[in-house]
Amino acid sequence: MSEQIASVLFWLIILVPVGVFTRQIQQVRRGTRRKFKGAILFFSYSILPVLTYGLVFLVLLGVEELTRLSLITEGFARTFPLVIGIGLAEVLLLTVIFSIAAWLLRTPGNAP
């Protein structure tokens, strides 16, 4: 069961930032969101799946320690640092890209 949770959360780690990027860039383009606030919200919303993945792992690890039932497979445990690293790298890279894209956008407030 933990492998199924891990695979679903991994895809959320990959896909959620792309959707959030699209939504926030549209709001910045329309002028309903300031550029800096859009970048902060983008980072905040994009990091949530990574934090959720880490929290699920720690909860399963805690339940395993308390009940002595093996809930975490060896494969799940071995991929944990890799998935967290990929997720953090993606969020940081997309935040930089979002900031640059928002900075270059012409919004209704600064159009010539």
Q: What percent of the chain has pLDDT over 90?
A: 38
CA angle 39–40–42, rounded 5-degree value: 65
Q: Is the pLDDT of residue 53 over 80?
A: yes
- Tell if the pTM clears 0.85, that is, is over it: no
Confidence of residue 2 (pLDDT cuts 50, 70, 90): low
pLDDT (tens digit per residue) in 61-97: 888 889 988 878 888 788 889 989 999 999 999 999 9
First and final C-alpha spacing in the chain:
56
pLDDT exceeds 70 at position 1: no
Residue type (1 letter), 41 = L
**How many separate helices (H) and strands (E) can be counted in the chain?**
3, 0
Closest by Cα among 48, 51, 56, 54 to 2 = 56
